Amino acid sequence: MVAPGAVAAVTALALALAGCSSSSSSSSAQASSPSVGSSGTKQASSAPGAQPGGENQLQDAYQKVIADVLPSVVQITTGDSLGSGIVYDDKGDIVTNAHVVGTATTFTVTLANSTKSLDATLVASYPDSDLAVIKLSNSPGGLKPASFGDSGKVQLGQITLAMGSPLGLSGSVTQGIVSATGRTVSEPRGGSSPGATIGNMVQTSAAINPGNSGGALVNLDSQVIGINTLAATEPQTNGAAAPGIGFAIPASTITSITDQLIKQGKVTNSGRAALGITARTSFNQQFQPAGAVIVTVSQGGPAASAGLQAGDVITKIGDSAVDSLNALTTALASLTPGTKVTVTYTRDGNGKTADVTLGTLESTS
């Protein structure tokens, strides 16, 4: 299935999941030019033109990265839809997006260096961070696990290559740069996606298309720095792709969540900030969104400890205005557990503030 349409705006753009592409779409015309990659530690002298033969050196670097990493990128098929994944270890564990696996528990996987389909089953999924792990039923010899980079070393302007199976074209690579870091992005809700809001994402200009989700965003040190997840679309053009704006979940989130899913079958430490409440969008008398009203407060949680109550309407987290539940989720996604923030809210029509030390979002696995 082609990823659902756009809902979350980023600089007036909407977002579409780059997840499942109809396998029948593989006949669509699509360039498979070299992609994905960001140089985490390369010096400026590696840039083209920095020295004689620099352009050839950069081409050689691209080809080396592709030879190193592409064997670790797989195609995942569920029924008549498909996405991508990354070999995580030599035991047959493969990490991908939760929206790629959806509600399925069995899959077929095609390795980059083979046309033979392999059976796989679901290990566990964590939709809150849009990550999941599947495992090959009979892991073949010679699996090549990917190497994951340091998210803290990803910098603006580093070269990236995106690897995966866009529109069913397995083993495709596109190239670009890191356009921004630290993006907080909300996925479109619908189909196989619960509409997760994910913080600290890597923005890249490498082309990301349906079927690329779950694939690798790679730097010039042959390290995975992210999992390709979302592409921007333009609402003014009926959801047409906005070229050069894609988003990837960072390596630090991937390894943290994946290790927990493999070892425990669930996530016990999400690394995501939480208030310890359930809430919904509050509307004013003109039926316009006007905040996030607290429905329940977890006993002993951060909000309860700060004196917040059911019925309070949150209008600001720190300096971030909150006019809806989505805005509250987005504000929290950009923060970390243990952070102390000022929550602005109204109670019985009166404005109030409370200092809250954020907790950790509990697993919904």
**Using one digit for the tens of pLDDT, what is the confidence trace for 196-215?**
888 899 999 999 988 899 99
Supply the pTM of this predicted model.
Answer: 0.77
The vertex-44 CA angle with 39 and 47, nearest 5°, equals 75
Residue 12: its pLDDT value, please?
Answer: 40
Catalytic residue among 213, 222, 252, 282: 213
Radius of gyration of the chain (CA): 21
Give just the sign of the alpha carbon dihedral 309, 315, 321, 327.
positive
Helix (H) or strand (E) holding 186: strand 172-186
CA distance 308 to 54: 60
Catalytic residue among 93, 130, 221, 323: 130
Which residues have C-beta within 8 Å of that of residue 157, sequence separation ≥ 6? 177, 178
Question: Any catalytic annotation for residue 130?
Answer: yes
Question: Any catalytic annotation for residue 147?
Answer: no
* CB-neighbour burial class of residue 289 (10 A; exposed 0-12, middle 13-18, buried 19+): middle
Going by C-alpha positions, the residue among 141, 24, 133 that lies closest to residue 85 is: 133
Catalytic residue among 25, 39, 99, 270: 99
Task: Tell me if 302 sits within 8 A of 357, measured CB to CB.
Answer: yes
Task: Tell me if 166 sits within 8 A of 25, measured CB to CB.
Answer: no
SS3 content of the chain, % helix, strand, coil (to 5): 20, 40, 40
Question: Any catalytic annotation for residue 99?
Answer: yes
Q: Which two tokens stand for residue 359?
A: 């907790």
Positions of the chain with pLDDT under 50: 1-12, 23-50, 365
